[in-house]
């Protein structure tokens, strides 16, 4: 499973920049699900709605699970995540195949970069601002 830092490092600068335009609306947070806080399987889960103002003001649903040592599992229901991110992040154990058909993104992400979409990045930034993740 990847760390938040690793995902941010592999996400292109234009996505990082555009993530600042995304509005974040936290819906629910659940702390230390699954196990006792000290165990590696325990995580904090954040359910967040995101949207980018513009012509297509779509609302996206994000789930961010933060495990020990800032390892993360994420998902977003946007097309960019589905076609560019889901396959590679799934190989690293940082998401599940929920939106795509699970086939390799030969054209969109041929080198399988562990990048995220603007919505996931904006959720990371939000959680950082709130002091809920450490990086």
* Residues 96-125 as x/- pattern, contact with Zn ion by CB under 5 A: ---------------------x-x------
Nearer to Zn ion, 66 or 117 (CB): 117
Cβ 110 to Zn ion shortest distance, Å: 20
Task: Give the nearer residue to Zn ion in terms of CB position, either 44 or 99.
Answer: 99
* Six token digits for residue 82: 């589905």
Segment 20 to 79, residues that bind Zn ion, using CB under 5 A: 76, 78
Q: Where are the beta strands (DSSP E) in the chain?
A: 23-33, 43-51, 59-67, 72-76
For Zn ion (CB under 5 A), the number of binding residues is 5
Name the minimum Å distance from CB 120 to Zn ion: 6
CA distance 89 to 77: 14
Least separation in angstroms between CB 95 and Zn ion: 11
Distance CA 28, CA 50 (A): 13
Examine residue 81 and tell whether it contacts Zn ion (CB under 5 A). Answer: yes
- What residues have CB less than 8 Å from 44, skipping those under 6 apart? 29, 30, 31, 32, 33, 65, 66, 132
Give whichever of 66 and 95 is closer to Zn ion, judged by the CB atom.
95
Minimum distance of Zn ion from residue 15's CB (angstroms): 10
Residues 35 and 42: beta-carbon distance below 8 Å: yes
Q: Count CB neighbours of 71 within 10 A.
A: 18
Site residues, Zn ion (CB under 5 A): 76, 78, 81, 117, 119
């Amino acid at each position: 499973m990847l760390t938040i830092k690793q995902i941010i490092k592999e996400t292109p600068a234009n996505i990082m920049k555009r993530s600042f335009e995304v509005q974040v609306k936290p819906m629910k947070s659940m702390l230390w699900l699954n196990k006792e806080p000290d165990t590696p399987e325990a995580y904090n889960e954040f359910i967040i709605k995101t949207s980018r103002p513009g012509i297509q003001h779509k609302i996206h649903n994000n789930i961010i699970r933060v495990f020990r040592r800032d390892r993360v599992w994420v998902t977003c229901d946007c097309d960019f995540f589905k076609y560019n991110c889901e396959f590679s992040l799934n190989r690293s154990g940082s998401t599940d195949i929920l939106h795509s058909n699970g086939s390799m993104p030969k054209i969109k992400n041929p080198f399988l970069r562990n990048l995220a979409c603007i919505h996931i990045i904006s959720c990371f930034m939000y959680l950082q601002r709130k002091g809920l993740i450490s990086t």
